[in-house]
A and B are shown apart, each in its own frame.
Chain A
Amino acid sequence: MKTLLDVQNLGKRFEGTQVLNDINIKVTEGEFIAIMGQSGSGKSTLLYNISGMDRPTSGMVLFGGKIISKLDDKKMSEIRLKQMGFIFQHSHLLKNLSIRDNIVFPGFKAGRYPRDKINQMADALMEKTGISNVADHDIKKVSGGQLQRAGICRSLINQPKILFADEPTGALNSSTTKDVMNIINKVNTEGTTVIIVTHDAKVAARADRVVFLMDGTIHDQLKLGKYGGENELSREKRLSGWLEKQGF
C-alpha cells in the first residue's frame, strides 16, 4: 500500500510549552487510525498539524509525497477542500443554510463536477446517512445526530482521499454514536483513509490501528486489523486491556 500521509519529526511549541515532540507516523492509503490519549496529551493538536489546519514548529508533513506543512493558506486551503474531509465534535454547519445547502456548497466551491452532479452526490450521501427526510430543513430544526451526519456528508462531498475527525461522537448518545461510526467505517471500506481522535474506546476499536499519545509523544501503537463488525466485542476487550497498560 502507498503511504498517503508521512509525518516526520513533528514538533509543536505553543506559548512556551512543547505540546508535541518528535512525532513520526506513516499512514497508508485506506488505513483507519484512531489517536487516543489523556486530556492534554496533544491528540487534537496532532490532528490539526497533520491536516494542515495548524503549522508544526519543527519537522514536516508530507501528503501524497508533497510537503504540506510549509504551504501558504491559499494552497493549503485548496488541498483541504479537494483532498481532505473534516468532521468536528460539533457539526459547525453554516446557520444560514439548509442541511442540503450546507452539504453541497463545498462541492460547488471545489468545482470538480457540474453542479447537477454534485446535487445527485449529496442526495446519495444523505440517503446513505439516513437524513434525506430533513434535507431541506433549517439546521436549528434537526437533532444533534442528524447534524453530525450532515457534517459527515459535507466532509465527503468532494470525495476526499483522507477524512479527519476530531471527537466526532463526543456530543452524541451511544446509539447515535454507533450509527455515525458505522457510516465512517463504511466510508473507510470504500477506500477513504480515516484518522480519528477520540477518548472513547468503543469508537477507537473500529480502527485498524490505535496510536496512544502521552505528553506529546507517541507512547505506543496497537494494530487491530480491519473492522468487520462481527468481532466487535473481542476488539474492544483487546483494546481495553492495552489501554489499561498505557494507564488510560
Chain B
Amino acid sequence: MKWMLVKNDLKRNKVINFALFLFMFFSAVLAVSSIIMATQTFTSISNLYQTAQPPHFLQMHKGEINQEEIDEFMSDYDDLTYWQTNTTIAVYGESLTVVSDNRTYNLSNSQLDIALVKQNETRDLLLNSSHEKIALEEGEIGIPVLLKETYGMEIGDHVRLTSNGVSKEFVIKEFILDSMMNSTMASSTRILLSDEEFNMLEGQVGENEYLIEAYFTETSEASNFQTAYENAELPQDGQTITYTIIFLLSALTDIMTVFVLLLVSVLLIIVSFICVKYTMITTLEEEISEIGTMKAIGLPFSEIRDLYLYKYRALAAASVMGGYLLALLISSLLTKHITATFGNNRTDPLAIVLSLIGAFLVYLLIIYYCKKLLNKMKKVTVVDALVQRKGFEKDQRIKNGLYQSKKLPVNWLIGLREVFFQFKNWIIVFTVVLIAVVMILIPVNLMNTLEAPEFITYMGSSEEDILIEIENGEKLAISYENVKKVLENDGTVQHYNEFRRVRVQTTDTEKERINLTVDNGVNSGAELQYLSGKAPGAGNEIALSYLNAEKVGKGAGEQILLYVNDNPQQFIISGIYQDVTSGGYTAKAQYNFSELTAEKYTFSVNLHDQVDERDKANEWSRILGGAVTVHPMEEFINQTLGGVVKQLRMIVLASSIIGICLTILITVMFLKLRLAKDFSEIAALNAIGFSEVDIRQQYLIKTGAVAMTGILAGIVITDVLGERIVSSLLSLSGLGINKVAFISNPFIEYIICPGLLLVLILLVTWMVMKTIQNYNLISNINK
C-alpha cells in the first residue's frame, strides 16, 4: 500500500522528486568522495613514511665534511636513535637530456636543484609505486615522480648525463617516490643511480653535497636538536629541515585539495538541505487538503507523517546508494594525484569503511531533517487545511504599494517587489551564488596575492630586481669581496642593500637557550610588511619574524635579551614581521654585530629600468661562480612559491568550475520547481495580456536581482572574511605567514567574476523560461 503511494507520487511529481533525488545524490557523492580522498591521503602518506622512513632532522650541506666529528656529536646526543650522512652529486638540469621515442629534450629549464644519489640501506629509502625499495642495475636510472609529471617521461626513455667531459647514458627503470622531496615546494629533487655507477661518477660530474640525517624517539625533539647542532659548529651550509616541514611540504597540496573538497561538500549539503526543505514545503502546501482529509477521517499524525516519510526514505536511500556507488567509481580519478605522489593505488579498506559510515550519516541526516520538517504537519488543524487552506509557512505580510509607483515598468515592479518582499522564497539562489562567489574569489585573490610582486615583502625579502646570496662557508669572505666589486663596477646597478647574517642566542618561553639568526644591515627589515610595530632603527633595536616572536613569547615594544658570544645584551623588539625564508625563523637589525662572524651575505639589487634582470643575473652568475647564487627576484618567487601557485591555479580552475556548475545546476532546478509552483499564476498573467517575453523578463529581473545580491554579499564576505580564513590556514601550515592582506585584481574581483556569474545565471534563466512555450496555458489556468 505504502509502496503504491510512493510509486504514484513519484510518477505525479516527476520534476520535484527528480530535483530532490539530485540534491541528495550530489550531497552523498561529495561527502563520500571527500572521505575517501581524506582517508586515502593520510593512509598513503603514512604507509609511504612507514616504509621510506624520512629523517626527523635534515641538514643539507655544500662543501667538505668531517664525518668523525658528526658521529661524535650524534653519539653523544640523547634521544637520538639513528643517523646517517648521504652523499649526493649536484648536477645542473642542462647536464641531463632525455631521449624518448618521439622527442629529445633537456632539463635545463627545471627550477629544481637536481642531485644524483644511491639507495640507502634502511632509512630514507626511495621507493616504487608499490612502496618497495628500489634496487637498480648498472645503466638503469630512477626518476622522481615530480620530474615525470613535469616532462611526461616514460619507463624505457633514455637519460643522457653530460657533465665535465663525462658522458653516460641510462634507461629509466622506475619512477621513484621520494618521501622528502616530492613537492615543487621542496626546491630539490633526487635522481637514483645504481651503487656502482654512483661511485664511479662521484667527484667527476658535479660537486658533492651532503644530507646529514638524524632520527629521534620523538619527532618533536628535532627543534632542540637543531639548536644543539648549530651550536656545535657542525656542517651547515645549506637548508635545515625538520620532520614537520617535510610532511607539510610533501602533503600540503593534497591536504589543501581535500580541504577544498570537504568545504564544497559541506556547502553542498547545506544547499541540498535548503532545497529539500523548499521542495518538501512546496509539496506539502500543494497537498494540504489531502493532509486535512486524512486528519479529518481520524488518521493519527504519526501515520500521516510516516506516509510521507516513507517516500523520503525511499528517495534518500536510492540517492545515497547511487551517490555512494558513483563516488566509489570516481574515487580513482580524485585520488590520482595522491596515488602518483605517494604510491599505494589500492583503495584502503579504512576508506571503504569510513565512506560507508559517511554515506549512512548523510542518509540519517536527511531523514532526521525530513522528520523535523514533517513535524510541522502536527500544528496544521483540519479547519486550517480544509476550510482556510492555510499551509505550513507563516503568513507573509504583503506589502501594499505597487500602485504608488510613478515610473518603473510593470515587469520590473513585479520582479523587484517579489525579490524585495519575498526574499525568503529566493534564499536558495542567493545562498548558492554567495557560496560560488566566495569559492571562486578566495582562491583567485590568494593566487593574485602570491603572484603579485609586492608579495615578496611577506616573505621576508625586499622588493628588488635581483637577489644575491653567499652561503658557502669557506669562500664566504672572498665571494663577498667579489660580489661587492661586481656591484660597485656595474653601471646598470641603481642601488643595492647588503645584509649580513649572524647567529646570536636568546631564551624561549621555557627559558631554554635558542639560536636566533639576525640579518643586519643599514636597510635591514625596512621594506617588509609588519604585523605590529615597525622596522628596526639604529641602536639596540631588533625586528623578529612571527615564528621567532611566538617562540620567545614577546611582542613589539618589549625588551629581549640577546647573548652575543655569550655576553648578554638588551635589545628592544621594534616590530614583528612575517617570513617564509629560512623556515620562518629570522630577525632583522641595523645594529652591526661586528664581533660575530658572518654566516651568510645577501644583496638585494635594484637595476636601472631598461636593464633585463634575467640577463644581468646570468651574467653575474657566470662571473661570480658556483659559490654565489644570483636570482632575479621573479625567479626567486617562482622557485619558492611556483608549486603552490601552480596548485592554486588548479584549485582556482576547479573551484570556479564547481562554483559555476553548482550555480547553474541549482538555478535550473530551483527555477523548474518555481515554474511548477507558479504555473497557474504565469498562465493567468499570460491570459490577461502579459506576453511570454514579459514573463521571461520578470523572471530574469527576479533571478538577476537575487544573483546580484548574492554576488555583492559574496564579495563583502570575501573581502571581510577571506583574508582571515586564508590567514588562519596559512598560520596553521607553519610556513611563517599568519596574516595576508589580499592583493586583489579589482578588474577580476569586481567585474569579470561577478559579470560572468551574472551573465551565466541570466542565460540559464532565459533558457529555462523558454520552456514555458511548451506548456499548455489553458490546462494550467484551470489548476
Q: Give A residues with C-beta under 8 Å from B.
A: 44-45, 48, 53-54, 73-74, 76-82, 84, 86, 88-89, 92, 94-98, 100-101, 104-106, 108-110, 115, 119, 122, 136, 138-140, 154-155, 158
In the complex, chain B residues whose CB is within 8 Å of the CB of A108 = 402, 405, 410, 413
B402 with A53: CB separation less than 8 A: no
Shortest Cβ distance from A123 into B: residue: B403
A95: chain B residues at CB < 8 Å are 681
By a CB distance below 8 angstroms, the chain B residues around A106 are 688-689
CB of B694 within 8 Å of the partner chain: yes
Provide the bound-state CA to CA distance between A53 and B417, in Å. Answer: 27
In the bound complex, residues from chain A placing their C-beta under 8 Å from that of B556 are none
25 contacts between A and B (CB under 8 A): A53-B686, A53-B778, A54-B777, A73-B691, A74-B693, A78-B691, A79-B689, A80-B689, A81-B690, A82-B689, A88-B687, A89-B782, A92-B683, A92-B687, A94-B414, A96-B417, A96-B422, A97-B402, A104-B403, A109-B410, A109-B411, A109-B690, A110-B689, A115-B406, A140-B395
Shortest Cβ distance from residue B386 to the other chain A in the assembled complex, whole angstroms? 15
A residues near B689, Cβ cutoff 8 Å: 77-82, 84, 106, 109-110, 158
Q: Please, which residues of chain B bring their CB within 8 A of the CB of A76?
A: 691
Pair A105/B402 contact, Cβ less than 8 Å: yes
| Most A-side CB within 10 Å, residue of B406, B418, B689, B777 | B689
Contacts of A154 in B (CB 8 A): 688
Residue contact A101 to B402, C-beta cutoff 8 Å: yes
Contacts A92-B684, A92-B781, A94-B414 hold; do A74 and B398 have CB atoms under 8 A apart? no
Q: Name A81's closest neighbour in chain B (CB-CB).
A: B689
Interface presence of B692 (CB below 8 A): yes
**Contact indicator A80/B688 (Cβ below 8 Å):** yes
Which of B398, B403, B690, B691 is in CB contact (< 8 Å) with A122? B403
> Can you add 10 more A-B contacts, CB < 8 Å, to A77-B689, A115-B405, A138-B397?
A73-B691, A78-B689, A79-B689, A81-B690, A88-B684, A94-B414, A96-B422, A100-B400, A115-B403, A115-B406
Kindly list chain B residues whose C-beta atoms are within 8 Å of the C-beta of A138.
395, 397-398
Q: Which residues of B contact A (CB under 8 A)?
A: 395, 397-398, 400-403, 405-406, 410-411, 413-414, 417-418, 421-422, 680-681, 683-694, 777-778, 781-782
Residues of A within 8 A of B781 (CB): 53, 88, 92
The binding surface of chain B is classed by DSSP as helix
A110 nearest CB neighbor, chain B only: B689
How near does chain A come to B563, taking the closest CB pair, in angstroms?
76
Q: Enumerate chain B residues within 8 angstroms of A73, measured Cβ to Cβ.
A: 691-693
* Complex-state Cα separation, A78 to B687, whole angstroms: 11
Chain A residues closer than 8 Å to B778, beta-carbon distance: 44-45, 48, 53-54
Q: Evaluate contact between A136 and B400: CB separation under 8 angstroms.
A: yes
Bound-state CA distance A36–B470 (Å) is: 103
With A86-B687, A109-B689 as known contacts, state yes or no: A77 contacts B405, CB within 8 Å: no
A82 to B688, CA, bound (A): 9
Q: A88-B684, A115-B406 are in contact. Are A53 and B777 (CB under 8 A)?
A: yes
User: Using Cβ atoms and an 8 Å threshold, which residues of chain A touch B681?
Assistant: 92, 94-95
Closest residue to A75 on the B side, CB-wise?
A: B691
> Which of A92, A110, A154, A155 has the most chain B CB atoms closer than 10 A to its own CB?
A92
Most buried by B among A77, A78, A86, A154: A77
* Known contacts A104-B403, A108-B405; A98/B782 CB under 8 A: no
Which residues of B sit under 8 angstroms from A115, Cβ to Cβ?
403, 405-406
Bound-state CA distance A41–B21 (Å) is: 41
Contacts of B692 in A (CB 8 A): 73-74, 77
CB-defined contacts of A80 to chain B, threshold 8 Å: 687-689
Residues of chain A within 8 A of B422, CB atoms compared = 96
Quote the shortest CB–CB distance from B368 to chain A (angstroms): 32
Q: In the assembled complex, which residues on chain B have CB atoms less than 8 Å from the CB atom of A78?
A: 689, 691
A102's closest neighbor in chain B, by CB? B402
Given that A108-B413, A115-B406 are contacting pairs, would A77 and B684 also be in contact in the complex, using a CB cutoff of 8 Å?
Answer: no
> A84 → chain B, closest Cβ, in Å?
8
- Compute how far the CA of A119 lies from the CA of B406 in the bound complex, rounded to whole angstroms: 11
Which residue of A is nearest B683, CB measured?
Answer: A92
B421 touches A96 (CB 8 A): yes
Name the distance in Å between A55's Cβ and chain B's nearest Cβ. Answer: 11
- A194 to B359: give the CA distance in the assembly, Å: 63
Chain A residue, CB-CB nearest to B694: A77
CB atoms of B402 and A77 under 8 A apart = no
Report, nearest first, the 10 A-B pairs whose CB atoms are least far apart: A81-B689, A92-B684, A77-B691, A98-B400, A101-B402, A80-B689, A138-B398, A109-B410, A104-B403, A74-B691
Least CB distance, B777 to chain A, in whole angstroms: 6
**Do the beta carbons of B403 and A101 come within 8 Å of each other?**
yes
With both beta carbons as reference points, the residue of chain A lying nearest to B406 in the complex is identified as: A115
Contact, CB under 8 Å: A96 / B691: no
What chain A residues lie within 8 Å of B418 (beta carbons)?
Answer: 96
Contact across chains for A119 and B403 when beta carbons are under 8 A apart: yes
Cβ of B410: which chain A residues have Cβ within 8 Å of it?
A: 105, 108-109
Across-interface contacts of B406 in A (CB, < 8 A) = 115
User: Bound complex: CA of A109 vs CA of B402, how far in Å?
Assistant: 12
Chain B residues, CB < 8 A from A77: 686, 689-692, 694
A158 proximity list for chain B (CB < 8 A)? 689
Distance in angstroms between the alpha carbons of A154 and B401 in the assembled complex:
16
Least CB distance, A155 to chain B, in whole angstroms: 7
Q: Enumerate chain A residues within 8 angstroms of B685, measured Cβ to Cβ.
A: 94
B411 proximity list for chain A (CB < 8 A) = 109
| Smallest CB separation, A16 vs chain B (Å) | 15
- In the complex, what residues of A have CB within 8 A of residue B401's CB? 98, 101
What is the distance, in angstroms, from B427's C-beta to the closest C-beta of chain A?
16
Q: How far is the CB of A113 from chain B (nearest CB, A)?
A: 13
Contacts of B680 in A (CB 8 A): 92
Complex contacts, B397 vs chain A, CB 8 Å? 138
Q: When the two chains form the complex, which single residue of A79, A97, A110 contacts B398, counting CB atoms closer than 8 Å?
A: A97
Give Cα distance in the complex from A198 to B686, angstroms.
Answer: 22
Cα A88 to Cα B688 in complex, Å, equals 10
In the bound complex, residues from chain B placing their C-beta under 8 Å from that of A94 are 414, 681, 684-685
Residues on the B chain within 8 Å of A136, using CB: 400
A82–B421 Cα distance when bound, in Å, is: 29
A89 to chain B, nearest CB (A): 7
Nearest Cβ on chain B to A86's Cβ, whole angstroms = 5
Residue of B whose beta carbon sits closest to that of A94: B681
Question: How many angstroms between the C-alpha atoms of A15 and B397 in the bound complex?
Answer: 43
**Looking at A44, A94, A110, A138, which has the most chain B CB atoms within 10 Å of its CB?**
A94
Contacts of A45 in B (CB 8 A): 778
